[in-house]
Amino acid sequence: MQNTVLRVKSLSKNFSSVKALNNISFSINQGDIFAFLGPNGAGKTTTLRILLDIIKADDGQIEWNLDGNAHRLPKASQIGYLPEERGLYLDIPILKSLVYLASIRGMDKTEAKKSALEWLERLGLADRAKEKLQVLSKGNQQKIQFIASILHKPIFAILDEPFSGLDPLNQELFIEFIREINNQGTTILLSAHQMQLVEKIANKVFLINKGEELYNGSMSEIYKTFENKKIIELHYKSALNENALKNFKEAENIEVIENSIVKLTFGQNSDLKTVLSNLAQLEGDFDISTHKPDLHDIFLYLVKNH
Amino acid sequence: MNYIKQIITVTRWEYSRFFKPKNEAIGLIIMLLLSGALYFGGKYALSESIPEIKVFVLNDNNGTLTEILKNNFTVQQLACGQKDIFIKGLNENKNNVLLDIKNGTIELYAYKNNRDIKRLKTHLDIYHQQIEMQKLGLSAEQLASVLSPASTKETFIIKDNSSNRLILSYFFAGLMILAVFLSFAYQFTAITGEKQLRITEQIVSAISPQVWMDGKILGITLTGISSMITYSLLFILGGVIYFQFTGASVLTILEYLHLPSIALFLPFALIGVLIWNAILAAIASVITDPNNSGKSSLMMLPVVFVIASFLVTRDPDSGLSVFLSWFPLTSATSMPMRWAITEVGIWQLIGSFLILLLTFYLLRKIAAKIFRVSILLTGKEPSWSEVYKFVKMK
């Protein structure tokens, strides 16, 4: 049986009159890649900051168990943190910054330097180790930020929006890195918007909206729960008439993407004959495709029905 | 990683960020070159700016005035009928001056008043004294005796209020102003810069705000103290060179370096700079936009208190001086200054130092509390009432 390394129980937090978190609970096991998903303002970053004691919760319990004993707070050396609000010393050489950030987390300086150079080498930035961060492109600065969060080989890494600002190639690269550090034993708590990337690597998911839990379980379970849903996508080549979509009364969800794609979600009991008949009556030129709901579809469905 | 090790790591980081020996050396060389250029350039400029005046004397019948002036000015007698022509010619002969003696009054005619005219007037005073002396029938020696100060023989039990000690106390205050200015600059850059670069969240996820605040206060204080030591050594070197030029013994500098006063100044200065760094760090923590914040001007607050310490030199035993040497925002400078120039009891030293230590302990706690809450405030700047609430938070 896997060890539970983080247990969160009935966590609540208010900012003045705004309920940022309302009684949320979850637990993460050793070796998990735990996806923490929600729209902007859902309470994701607030939760992460409470976990790290950057801000205080109004209510609830947090229990870390990274070394076989339960603690309210983890040790700095056990945790890696990539904050949503990125920032590093722009006017200081990259290597020096990395070594400092690893050393305040308890890593030996010589080891930190060696490890930093290895990571820089892998990311193609070894020759720029002595340059100041400000001369790097934004994408490369993101890479340095990522290295800073995992350089000290943490047992548990919290990555808040690790893919934001990266191009598709670098997003794939980061997925590989996350997989790699996870395979080496680091448990990951991943907060991100890019569902298609998250579902490639996460084994557990927690969906949050307006500070409340929407779903908490394994990735396989969430697909299983929603496998009876059907998604029909209409790819319009001509102008889209949104009014005509009102005929699909049996659709549980209708999503229009960029005024050219319509996603219709139907439940298990929907009558396919009626659906097809309605589709045939739709005006305009469009292609039709169907697929099982992916994480993005499930997420939107749950948020809409919350 | 324990608390001490974390503080040492942060302190070393902050110190290495701001104390750059190479930049310090370059700054000192530039300062020396500028001082040299100002000294010699000023001397040259002043020497060239006013040409020597030529003095013409009228009605100096017994030649007394000419005799007094001839060693310092070019003096010439003017013929009686030449006066009007001379005055008309002053527009062209701008360096000429006429002195016309009339019934005990000297009429002076010149193109304009300048430094040489002032110098000339001091010699006219001597002339006046001689004339009055002749009227009274006094000899030169008799006049000198009348004008000389009272002859006294002074014996004091406490001999510490010498001018050398006074200079040393001014030097202490100067060093504190230097340290406070450096702290102001570095603390402001360090904290507001990190807030703007959004580094804070990453750091406080690894170490507590108290550790970070303590490391920052200590690191930047050490930077200020390092600069104080560098500039002190430079001034000592400057003093040695100065005494060599003036023909005095090189060892004269030792008369100014009263080691017990210096030994007392160092711990007081250290805690004083730590206190100001804690206050400056707290103020910088609540500033979200350094360019538009109304709180930025508060960063100059320490200078007012350090300058207030100069009042001690007017009367080191007055009630105000005693208060300044106990009040923790001024005592770091005032107490060593008082001690250098007057008698201060050991219990006063210990009491003042303990208050200073206690103040630092409390201020660093308050600074960390404010910092902890302000850390994630990047939009609206907190009001003073909000800052007060931060301080009261548990």
Span B110-137, mean pLDDT?
87
Q: Which of B6, B194, B201 sits opposite A104 (nearest CB)?
A: B6
Token pair listed for B39: 């000294």
To the nearest whole angstrom, how far is the Cα of B375 from the nearest Cα of chain A? 9
> Hey, are the CB atoms on A54 and B198 less than 8 Å from each other?
no
B residues 361-380 near A, CB within 8 Å? 375-376, 378
Which of B118-122, B182-186, B232-236 is most confident? B118-122
Closest CA to A151 of A114, A115, A97: A115
- Name the domain count of chain A: 2
Residue A115 is predicted with a pLDDT of 94
Q: Which residue has the tokens 């191009």?
A: A167
Same domain, A54 and A8: yes
B293 interfaces chain A, CB cutoff of 8 Å: no
B107 interfaces chain A, CB cutoff of 8 Å: no
Residue ranges per domain, chain B?
Answer: 54-144, 160-392
Residue B394 is predicted with a pLDDT of 61
Other beta carbons less than 10 A from residue A236's beta carbon: 17
> Hey, are the CB atoms on B198 and A87 less than 8 Å from each other?
yes
Same domain, A183 and A259: no
Q: Which of B1, B13, B201 sits opposite A54 (nearest CB)?
A: B201
* DSSP-derived 3-state class of residue A94: helix
Q: Are A155 and A66 within 8 A, CB to CB?
A: yes
Least confident interval from A105-109, A127-131, A164-168, B264-268: A164-168
> Hey, are the CB atoms on A87 and B204 less than 8 Å from each other?
no
Same domain, A207 and A237: no
Token pair listed for B255: 């008369």
A residues 89-148 near B, CB within 8 Å? 89-90, 92, 100-101, 103-106, 148
Q: Which of B17, B201, B207 sits opposite A83 (nearest CB)?
A: B201
Closest CA to B352 of B333, B335, B338: B335
Interface with chain B: mutation pick from A47, A103, A104, A132, highest number of B CBs within 10 Å? A104
> Hey, are the CB atoms on A81 and B9 less than 8 Å from each other?
no
Residue A149 is predicted with a pLDDT of 92
> The CATH number of the domain where A150 resides is what?
3.40.50.300
Same domain, A185 and A242: no
Same domain, A58 and A149: yes
Same domain, A181 and A260: no
Span B63-72, mean pLDDT?
88
Under the banding of pLDDT at 50, 70 and 90, the label for residue A204 is: very high
To the nearest whole angstrom, how far is the Cα of A45 from the nearest Cα of chain B? 11
> Hey, are the CB atoms on B376 and A81 less than 8 Å from each other?
no
Residue A231 is predicted with a pLDDT of 85
B26 interfaces chain A, CB cutoff of 8 Å: no
pLDDT at A241 over 90: no
Q: What is the DSSP string of B345-383?
A: -HHHHHHHHHHHHHHHHHHHHHHHHHHHHHTT--SSPPP
Same domain, A185 and A300: no
Same domain, A30 and A149: yes
In a domain, A189, yes or no: yes
Residue spans of alpha helices (H) in chain A: 44-51, 94-103, 109-122, 138-150, 168-183, 195-201, 219-225, 272-281, 295-304
DSSP H/E element including B77: strand B74-77
Residue B254 is predicted with a pLDDT of 80
In a domain, A119, yes or no: no
In a domain, A82, yes or no: yes
Residue A22 is predicted with a pLDDT of 92
Span B331-358, mean pLDDT?
91
pLDDT digits (tens, 9 = 90+) for B184-232: 888 888 888 887 777 888 888 888 889 999 999 999 999 988 988 888 8
Interface with chain A: mutation pick from B194, B198, B201, highest number of A CBs within 10 Å? B201
- Chain B residue numbers with beta carbons less than 8 Å from the beta carbon of A101 are 202-203, 206
To the nearest whole angstrom, how far is the Cα of A97 from the nearest Cα of chain B? 10
Region of A258 (left: φ > 0; alpha: ψ -120 to 50; beta: rest) is left
Other beta carbons less than 10 A from residue A239's beta carbon: 10
pLDDT digits (tens, 9 = 90+) for A186-195: 999 999 878 8
What is the length of chain A? 306
> Hey, are the CB atoms on A100 and B9 less than 8 Å from each other?
yes
Residue A90 is predicted with a pLDDT of 85
Distance from the first to the final alpha carbon of chain B: 24
To the nearest whole angstrom, how far is the Cα of B185 from the nearest Cα of chain A? 16
- Chain B residue numbers with beta carbons less than 8 Å from the beta carbon of A83 are 198, 201-202, 205
Alpha carbons within 13 A on the beta-carbon side of A185:
6
> The CATH number of the domain where A242 resides is what?
3.30.70
Closest CA to A24 of A191, A296, A195, A216: A216
Region of A206 (left: φ > 0; alpha: ψ -120 to 50; beta: rest) is beta
Residue B31 is predicted with a pLDDT of 79
The C-alpha atoms of residue A207 and residue A303 are separated, in whole angstroms, by 9
> Hey, are the CB atoms on B202 and A87 less than 8 Å from each other?
yes
Least confident interval from A3-17, A40-54, A264-278, B260-274: A264-278
Same domain, A205 and A269: no
Question: Is the CATH number 3.40.190.10 carried by domain B54-144?
Answer: yes
To the nearest whole angstrom, how far is the Cα of B311 from the nearest Cα of chain A? 42
> Hey, are the CB atoms on A81 and B202 less than 8 Å from each other?
yes
Token pair listed for B215: 């490391």
| pTM (whole model) above 0.90 | no
pLDDT at A23 over 80: yes
* DSSP-derived 3-state class of residue A197: helix
Classify the C-alpha dihedral B275-B279-B284-B285 as positive or negative: positive
> Hey, are the CB atoms on B202 and A92 less than 8 Å from each other?
no
- Chain A residue numbers with beta carbons less than 8 Å from the beta carbon of B194 are 87
In a domain, A204, yes or no: yes
> Hey, are the CB atoms on B197 and A87 less than 8 Å from each other?
yes
Residue B385's beta-bridge partner residues? none
Residue B350 is predicted with a pLDDT of 95
pLDDT digits (tens, 9 = 90+) for A69-114: 888 888 889 999 998 877 888 888 999 999 999 999 989 999 999 9
A152 interfaces chain B, CB cutoff of 8 Å: no
B33 interfaces chain A, CB cutoff of 8 Å: no
Which of A272-286, B298-312, B360-374 is most confident? B360-374
- Chain A residue numbers with beta carbons less than 8 Å from the beta carbon of B202 are 81, 83, 87-88, 101, 148-149
Span B316-326, mean pLDDT?
93
pLDDT at B378 over 60: no
> Hey, are the CB atoms on B202 and A76 less than 8 Å from each other?
no
In a domain, A124, yes or no: no
The C-alpha atoms of residue A241 and residue A238 are separated, in whole angstroms, by 9
What mean pLDDT value characterizes chain A? 87
Same domain, A58 and A148: yes
pLDDT at A244 over 80: no
Residue B155 is predicted with a pLDDT of 74
- Which domain, by its residues, includes A235? 226-304
Span A222-244, mean pLDDT?
81
DSSP H/E element including A64: strand A59-64
To the nearest whole angstrom, how far is the Cα of A165 from the nearest Cα of chain B? 16
B residues 200-239 near A, CB within 8 Å? 200-207
Same domain, A234 and A212: no
Residue B293 is predicted with a pLDDT of 64
Interface with chain A: mutation pick from B196, B205, B393, highest number of A CBs within 10 Å? B205
ipTM, two decimals? 0.78
Same domain, A24 and A160: yes
Between these two residues, B42 and A196, which has the higher pLDDT value?
A: A196
pLDDT digits (tens, 9 = 90+) for B155-183: 766 665 567 788 888 888 888 888 888 88
> Hey, are the CB atoms on B376 and A54 less than 8 Å from each other?
yes
Write the secondary structure of B130-183 as one string of H (helix), E (strand) and C (coil).
Answer: HHHHHHHCCCHHHHHHHHCCCCCCCCCCCCCCCHHHHHHHHHHHHHHHHHHHHH
To the nearest whole angstrom, how far is the Cα of A126 from the nearest Cα of chain B? 23
- Chain A residue numbers with beta carbons less than 8 Å from the beta carbon of B190 are none
Closest CA to B142 of B133, B150, B153: B133
Residue B295 is predicted with a pLDDT of 65
Cβ contacts below 8 Å, chain A against chain B, sum to 61
Other beta carbons less than 10 A from residue A202's beta carbon: 23
In a domain, A265, yes or no: yes
pLDDT at B335 over 70: yes
A residues 30-59 near B, CB within 8 Å? 49, 52, 54-55
